[in-house]
Amino acid sequence: MAKVTGLEGVIAAETDISLVDGENGYLVYRGHWAKDLAISKSFEEVCHLLWYGRLPNGEELAALQSKLVEQRELPAQMRQLMDVLPLSLPMMSVLQTIIASIDYAWPPTIEQAISLTAKLPVLIAYRYRQQTGRAFVEPDAALAHAANYLYMLTGQRPEEAHSKALTAYLILGMEHGMNASTFAGRVVLSTQSDMASAVSGAIGAMKGPLHGGAPSEVTAMLEDIGTKANAEPWLRAKLEQGERLMGFGHRVYKTRDPRAEALRLVTSGMTGQDPWFDLAIHVEETAIRLLEEYKPGRRLYTNVEFFAASIMRAIQLPSDLFTPTFTAARVVGWTAHLLEQASINRIFRPQSLYTGAQPESQ
């Protein structure tokens, strides 16, 4: 029996949700380039695409927006459970616990997916305000998904540039093939467990730094560089010392990361509106030029974490909310996969290769 450590390259399921092609730099959501969706569509439109298989018409979009707003309300039992969890408990563990407490029936439904997607940002904001000793800011029904999230965190209506940039980030974070957390969720659901349990399992996988690691190191790099004038000397010094530049290169993408391309377009379109966007664009251009000089032919391009970091810093999102915010985006893809898994369900039951000692003959 062939052994493939980590199941790398093994096809575990067929899907029509997304295509991730690292060699060619493709990321496709149900027949649409993800980077185009991030630039031209709303969060709610792309949710509809992943859950229903098509972009919505005006009536369908209005209906979905209404449902998402309605489902932002946290039930009393969720608030009560949140209130008794120790404040020292990390945010991802809090989210995993709260989601696991939801009682859903089999099979999973789109209504459940909508509810989970609507509630995750509210849960994050509720807990964040708790941890920082401030009163919870109730959701604003007049605000779209990303804008409402920022409003609940800060208590202030966000700038349009920040809402637009965060929306693009959330769209590009929604889905990325059969990654570790998506696979974990599909395995749980394949036992005919419920959608909340499967999402809780996916959050458990996302907690791990090898998967849901936040772009904190990129943020630290940009803060250390500080100004455009300091970019080239700072980057040259790192390369001369043989150090890695954070935010460049990707395990999957061997060419330009399409998510980074989209976020770059969004960010560059807002230069002059936020100094962090200006700095990020300059640092990226300088770093690409220097990487080609110092490491010719290595194909080290900007990855999604670089521009994610610039967006997170611009909207002043604390670093401990990076992975939870990524989770609030990825729940859309997880739930799309769970709906797909239920429609063709077969329990996952791989084999293992025993390498231990054999007992003595009977």
Enumerate the active-site residues. Answer: 250, 305
Q: What is the DSSP letter of 177?
A: S
Alpha carbon distances (Å) from 204 to 180, 214, 226: 10, 15, 35
> Using N-to-C axis directions, what is the helix angle for 76-84 and 110-131, rounded to 10°?
40
**Contact assessment for residue 111 and residue 52, using Cβ atoms and an 8 Å cutoff:** no
The DSSP output letter for 223 is H
Contact 166/141 with Cβ under 8 angstroms? no
With residue 82 as reference, give the H or E element that holds it.
Answer: helix 76-84
Most distant CA pair in the chain, distance:
79
Q: CA end-to-end span of the chain, whole Å? A: 26
**206 membership: H or E segment, kind and range:** helix 195-206
- Write the single-letter amino acid at 247: G
What are the residues whose beta carbons fall under 8 Å from the beta carbon of 251, sequence distance 6 or more? Answer: none
Q: Helix 228-240 crosses helix 216-225 at what angle (to 10 degrees)?
A: 120
Q: Give the C-alpha separation, 44 to 50, whole Å.
A: 10
Residue indicated by tokens 């996969």: 337
Q: Which string of DSSP letters, residue by residue, matches 225-257?
A: H-SHHHHHHHHHHHHHTTPPPTTB--SS-SS--
**Lateral strand order in the sheet of 18-21:** 18-21, 26-29, 32-33
**Token couple for 320:** 């401990």
Reply yes or no: is the peptide bond before residue 107 cis, omega within 30 of 0.
Answer: yes
Contact 94, 194 (CB under 8 A): no
